[in-house]
Amino acid sequence: MKDNKLIAEFMGFPQQTDIVDDRTTAYYIGDVIKANNAKNQNPDDVFHPDDMLFNSSWDWLMPVVEKCFDRLMEDDNSDDLSFCLNDALLTTNIDEVYKAVVNFIKNHDLI
């Protein structure tokens, strides 16, 4: 999932080579998110973008939201961005918040 890769890069997760396929990039998320990676042979806290749960787990997504707000605090022209993220959070719909975060990252080249 390319949006999960975008989020992983925005978060600054260190890249690692996959244990099984050295042509595949995985990311170490353990300093920010503690998770069990039972889906493949990588160690816990190392995930492929396809296995990341930003779109389905608040535990995964909220650290990203926090980083977005941290970036907004650094930007004087952030009202529109702040409203979009706030509005998405008020829906309490993880799909809406995920979309708002991805849109924030894509449109503001913050990586």
The span from the CA of 38 to the CA of 47, in Å, is: 10
- Which residue from 65, 35, 69 is spatially nearest to 52, judged by alpha carbons? 35
Q: Over 80: is that where the pLDDT of 60 sits?
A: yes
**8 Å CB contact between 53 and 60:** yes
The span from the CA of 101 to the CA of 10, in Å, is: 10
Farthest CA pair distance, the chain: 45
Q: Can you give the pTM of this predicted structure?
A: 0.84
The whole-number pLDDT of residue 5 equals 94
pLDDT single digits (tens) 25-58: 889 998 898 887 777 777 778 888 888 999 999 9
Q: Over 50: is that where the pLDDT of 83 sits?
A: yes
